[in-house]
Structures are given as C-alpha cells and as structure tokens.
Amino acid sequence: MRQALLSYCVILELKVFKHITVFPILLLLFGCATAPPQNVENVCDIFDEYYDWYSAAKQAEKNHGVPIGVTLAFIHQESRFVEDARPPREWFLWIFPGSYPSSAYGYTQALNGTWYEYQKKTGQWSADRDDFVDAVDFIGWYNSQTSKRTGIRKHDAYRLYLAYHEGAGGYLKGSYNKKPWLIDVSRKVERRANMYNQQLLECRDTLDSGWLWRTMFGESRVNQDKNQRFSG
C-alpha cells in the first residue's frame, strides 16, 4: 500500500540554449497538491495513509464538538477529497471554457463570502480552502454555528447537511422540502457519516497510539494490526 506520501510535485526540466538539454533538476516547486486518499470508503485507511489528517480531524472535533465521521462525510460529498475542487465550469458553444457558476472551492466547496466570514470570526486569516487542516476546522465551526442557530444536534449529519446547503435560514424555512434531490443527497451523507464513525471505533485507539509506532518503526500501526488479524 502506498505510504503516507503527503504531496506529489511537478519537477521541471530545464533546457539551456538551443541544442543543450540539462538533466532534470528541481528548479521550481511548480505545482504541489495532496492526492485524494486511495480508499475513501474506509476512514481507517484514509487516516492510515494521511496520519496528519487524523490529528487535524481530532482537533476539529475537540474544538467544535462535531464528530469526525460527520466532518469527513461532508468533505467526501463536497469534493471527494480533491483539494482544489471546483464546480463544473460553463462552456460557450461547447468549445470555449467560460466562468465557474460560483466561487465554491476546495475540500469544503465554501463560497468566498462564507470563507471570509469564517476567517473573520475565528481570526484564522491564513486559512486556505485547499488545506485539509483548515477545511476540517471550517466544517466543524460551520456546523457548530448551525447547531446554535437551529438546534440541530452536532451528530445529525442529515439535518446538518440540509442546513449546509440551504443555510441556517433556509433550513428553518424548510426550503429543502422543495428539493427532493437534496434530501436524497443528505441521506447519503448521513449513511457515510455513520459508516465512518463506526469504522473509527475499530481503529481510533490504534491511531491515537500510532505516532509512537511510526516514529520507532516507520510502519503503519493500522496496517500492522490488520496483518496480524489476517495472519492469525
């Protein structure tokens, strides 16, 4: 299994003069991005691949009281863990790329204005929508604010997602009732949140002690436990 490779980078090949090709060198960190997890169907595998994501998700859960499974289910629905995700752009005459339909961007698909509000209210001015650490904190913060305004419980992924899409005001007015597709999507988010939370019960203790194991042996503790179970 691929180890926790946190980013892949484009390495430029420098060519000097017309007939001279210089060997590839790391000229510029041109485009670095965090690849989506290989297996998004299992939260233990996600955190095994990106252990620092677990630390960030756990901190967000501690800060805002929203379960990790709920937060990751939101990210899966919004971006499939693609850090620079955007909504499909419009096309002119099916040939020329046009503008994007909204300013939604990143793991959370938060709009510019919503993200600015998060930065302003939390003081996290350096937070980026394509940074997983900031993304999980944003979702925790947003759902916590929604819970205060609407009374939705923080583990209720179904209703939280309805409000995430419609806004707290829209949710309280019941605007989602005119959108059967949104109700279906919210149920999908709820099922995934429950699945992630259930899976996390099986590996959370291992993840919590995994930092020492990785430091000493350089190996995934989650995978080590899996191998022992299968070999037994």
For each of the domains in the chain, give its residue range(s) and CATH number, in order of start.
Answer: 39-231 (1.10.530)
Question: What's at 213, amino acid-wise?
Answer: W
- Give the pLDDT confidence score for residue 217 in this predicted structure: 57
- Give the pLDDT confidence score for residue 110 in this predicted structure: 97
* Alpha-carbon span 116 to 110, nearest angstrom: 10
- Give the pLDDT confidence score for residue 33 in this predicted structure: 79
Quickly list H helices, the chain: 43-49, 51-64, 68-79, 112-122, 132-150, 157-173, 180-217, 221-231
- Give the pLDDT confidence score for residue 186 in this predicted structure: 98
* Alpha-carbon span 129 to 48, nearest angstrom: 23
* Alpha-carbon span 178 to 11, nearest angstrom: 49
- pTM equals 0.80
Q: Judging by beta carbons within 10 Å of its beta carbon (0-12, 13-18, 19+), is residue 222 exposed, middle or buried?
A: buried
Show Cβ contacts of residue 230 under 8 Å, excluding neighbours closer than 6 positions.
none
Task: Please list the pLDDT of the chain residue by residue as tens digits (232 residues).
Answer: 444 334 334 333 323 323 333 334 333 444 567 999 999 999 999 999 999 999 999 999 999 999 999 999 999 999 999 999 988 766 555 565 655 658 999 999 999 999 999 999 999 999 999 999 999 999 999 999 999 999 999 999 999 999 999 999 999 999 999 999 999 999 999 999 999 999 999 999 999 987 666 656 555 555 555 555 444 4
- Give the pLDDT confidence score for residue 90 in this predicted structure: 66
- Give the pLDDT confidence score for residue 102 in this predicted structure: 86
